[in-house]
Chains A and B, each alone.
Chain A
Amino acid sequence: MAEKKGGFWSRLVHGLSKSRDTMGTSVDDALSEFTSIDDDFYDEIEEILVMGDVGIGATTAILNNLKQKVKEQHVRKPAQCKELLLQSIKDEMNVGATDYRFEHEKSVILVVGVNGVGKTTSIGKLAGILKNEGRKVVLAAADTFRAAAGEQLDIWAKKADVPMISGQEGSDPGSVVYDAIAAAKARGADVLLIDTAGRLHNKKNLMAELGKINRIIDREYPEAYRETLVVLDGTTGQNALAQAKEFKEVTNVTGIILTKLDGTAKGGIAIAIHSQLGIPVKYIGVGERIDDLQKFDADQFVNALFDVKASDLQ
């Protein structure tokens, strides 16, 4: 167990190394630079968090929480603040226990998101992971809009060695979903993974189409456990919140996949999502390889972000 954790740990730290360089070291610098806890100190922390895409809303909440803690515990030295800051962030990120029921039950996972966030790639990786866990997976290529989207998924399907159901480009995605459900039932699949076309969340018609797909699943496959994952690009700023929120309005979003965290994005958007929306991030993508899609753990994530070893805190 310890070793497995270490493996994930190093990958996460490695993937986030660039981000950590900025958020983690900036905080450390601030902590050693300032001699007293005053408004300037808080302003500095605010700036670091905002620049890390934590967003002004979550940042303000975190700072209030921190100020409260500092007051209660009579802390005077900035250097003693780090643990309190991390705790404040973790408090803000607490959305209760995250479950992964689709790993054990007959389920349908609908994957949605705006264009170019990495939906198809994430699905490919997820299919590989579930398949390795011994689950019987069927993929549905319901992105019938983007040129060659089906082919991209097909390559992933072959890589993961799972069957894929697709339709003609430009055909009705609802019909693909319908066919895929029939296929999943016929083959006795454990998990049906549905890839949908990227859609900007402010496009009414496309969002309505998603509603239709939803209804088809509910009607044709009511016995399946429903999981709806929104894929968000880790480099997206505060608009990621708007995206998640709009998708939540048309489908029952149960979790988030945060991709592209191997870039220089600070990853602070994960904090913003938990704090402002209360939807759990379930997976994060930290690289190109199939096993670079990892289950998300808020505490570990925060520790990694600020370069704290778990042992330091105990």
Chain B
Amino acid sequence: MAFESLSDKLQNIFKNLRKKGKLTEADVKAAMKEVKLALLEADVSFKVVRNFMKSVQEKAIGSDVMNGLNPGQMVIKIVSDELTTLMGSEMVDLKLNPQTSMTVIMMMGLNGAGKTTTSAKLASKLKSRGYNPLLAGLDIYRPAAVRQLQVNAEKIGVPVYWDDKHEFLPPDIAKNAVQYAKENGFNLVILDTAGRLQIDKDMMDELHEIKEKITVDDSILVVDAMTGQDAVNVASSFEEKVGIDGVILTKLDGDTRGGAALSIRATVGKPILYVGMGEKLDDLQQFYPDRMASRILGMGDVMTLIERAQQNVDEQQAKEMEQKLRKASFGFDDYLASMDQMKKMGGMKSVLSMMPGINPSQMSQFEDAIDEKAMARTEAIIYSMTPKERANPEILNPSRRARVAKGAGVSLDEVNRLCKQFEQSRKLMKQYSGMLKGRKRRGFGGFGGLGGFKLPF
């Protein structure tokens, strides 16, 4: 199937490898061929792929892979290590001056890469870090570009400087913006420049001129994660003609395989600072090269998952929950609490997407199954119960159920269904906890317990 994701592909390849007891050189070669095709389909630059294949193959065949206990894992490790190295082995942040002085960030990129939206996202992010940002609209070409910036800026409460009288060219607007910022107590200016093609000499000169007129601390290239083979040319031209300090990848919430990330990193050697993951203005996330590499390989973004779990799951609460689950004495209150935890971690979908072994195509099936609206309805039903009913679901007789249905604004059927499913889950848990008794528990904290709890929806 032509549209399988890179993770799918590699998982399939390595599934085959795992099945074999021993790994021959021919196996490595066959696997490598598949890896190559997968990387090319992921739009990784051909040259990057070639170098990548070379170094992986050298390492794979030269090392102890053949004698290793689990050859498949060994190959995964080599490929993953190599990918991580290519991506840049550690995360890098923006070069920001102390808040007592001025920092200027220039956003640049092709048309439609997402500069304006990303500018606003970045402003919002730095504002929450204590900076006082000013956005400057330098796109005097595209119809309504400044308007788009203004609307977004308003949502995050950041002012926009622009040339409302249409008097100046972008380099002078930039200069005026920085001047204005200094006079009005801002300590950070984000220049939202117009989209341009890297072969458009005049437009590239304009960026260069901006950098001559004012001190730009960070020149950020905004790149659409879906860019094809051309990503390398784009990045190297901007680097050559203007100079890049960092890269922000946008639209990574699509199903793109993001080969552009790899290509850019490998050819220009500039760090990827952030990734844009959605349409909301707080959807700019830190870029973690190692996590990205393992995600590409379909091993899941486990680090992020664990981190979020640690941040949000109350240890004590988790233990209590586990006890209750084992005794099957949990009520609707506990169910609410577990849903709440799930929400804190970014919702069911977000948790699932980071799980190892769940690839994007399976993910879309889950998305159909997990209707977050239905979960909200379930919540409404539970909130319409009295505390007593929540703790003892068995007292919910037909008249109580009718009242709950009215309160939650749902049909009686829905309430009945929820109660029935809940009862079944409890029964299931009873059996399950009997099986578990005395066995060593896996997973982290009370989480393993939650995994066995069949959510009633």
Contact = CB atoms under 8 A, between A and B. Distances in A.
Given A56-B37, A155-B143, A263-B199, A239 B255 contact: yes
Contacts of B142: 152
B114 A115 contact: yes
Interface string B1-35: 01100000000000000000000000000000000
A156 interface: yes
Interface stretch (B146-154, B386-394, B400-408, B442-450): B146-154
Which interface residue of A149, A169, A239, A241 has the most chain B CB atoms within 10 A? A239
A237 B226 CA distance: 6
A215 interface: no
A169 B40 CA distance: 40
Interface string B110-145: 111110000000000000000000000000001111
Nearest to A259: B112
Interface stretch (A46-54, A76-84, A96-104): A46-54
Contacts of B148: 146-149, 152
Interface string A32-64: 000000000000000100111101110000000
Contacts of A238: 41-43, 228
Interface string B29-64: 000000001001111011000000000000000000
Contacts of B147: 147-148, 151-152
A51 B224 contact: no
A11 interface: no
A263 B45 CA distance: 17
A68 to B, nearest CB: 21
A182 interface: no
B111 A118 contact: yes
Interface stretch (B68-76, B77-85, B256-264, B294-302): B256-264
Nearest to B363: A202
Contacts of B234: 235, 264
Interface in A3-29: 18
Contact of A53 (B42, B152, B224, B229): B229
Nearest to A158: B143
Nearest to B196: A263
A116 B113 contact: yes
B112 A115 contact: yes
B256 A265 contact: no
Interface in A201-250: 201-202, 204, 233, 235-242, 245
A236 B197 contact: no
Given A233-B112, A262-B197, A202 B364 contact: yes
Contact of A116 (B112, B149, B367): B112
Interface string B146-167: 0111111000000000000000
Contact of B144 (A155, A200, A276): A155
Contacts of A111: none
Contacts, number: 141
A132 to B, nearest CB: 20
Contacts of A271: none
Given A148-B147, A200-B251, A202-B364, A236 B41 contact: no
B332 to A, nearest CB: 28
Which interface residue of A55, A169, A237 has the most chain B CB atoms within 10 A? A237
B341 interface: no
Contact of A264 (B42, B114, B198, B367): B198
Which interface residue of B110, B197, B230, B234 has the most chain A CB atoms within 10 A? B230
Nearest to B360: A202
A53 B230 contact: yes
- Contact-residue size bin, chain A (C-beta under 8 Å from the other chain): 35 or more
A239 B143 contact: no
B152 A55 contact: no
A202 B42 CA distance: 16
Interface string A147-169: 11101101110000000000001
Nearest to B50: A47
Contact of B254 (A18, A200, A204): A200
Nearest to B364: A202
Which interface residue of A47, A53, A204, A233 has the most chain B CB atoms within 10 A? A233
B315 interface: no
B233 interface: yes
A239 B230 contact: no
Contact of A237 (B112, B149, B229): B229
A310 to B, nearest CB: 26
Contacts of B145: 148, 152
A82 B93 CA distance: 49
A66 interface: no
Given A18-B199, A114-B254, A242 B229 contact: no
Contacts of A154: 144
Contact of B255 (A50, A53, A236, A242): A242
Nearest to A114: B254
Contacts of B425: none
Contacts of B199: 18, 263-264
A18 B234 CA distance: 13
Given A52-B229, A152-B142, A169 B110 contact: no
A152 B143 contact: yes
Contacts of A176: none
Interface string B192-236: 000001110000000000000000000000001011111101100
Interface in A235-284: 235-242, 245, 260, 262-266, 269, 276
Given A51-B46, A154-B144, 5 more contacts: A152-B143, A155-B143, A233-B112, A239-B226, A263-B110
Closest 4 CB pairs of A and B: A237-B228, A116-B112, A147-B151, A237-B43
8 contacts: A53-B230, A56-B37, A148-B151, A152-B148, A169-B151, A204-B364, A260-B111, A266-B229
Interface of A: 18, 47, 50-53, 55-57, 114-118, 145-149, 151-152, 154-156, 169, 200-202, 204, 233, 235-242, 245, 260, 262-266, 269, 276
Interface of B: 2-3, 37, 40-43, 45-46, 110-114, 142-145, 147-152, 197-199, 224, 226-231, 233-234, 251, 253-257, 259-260, 279, 364, 367-368
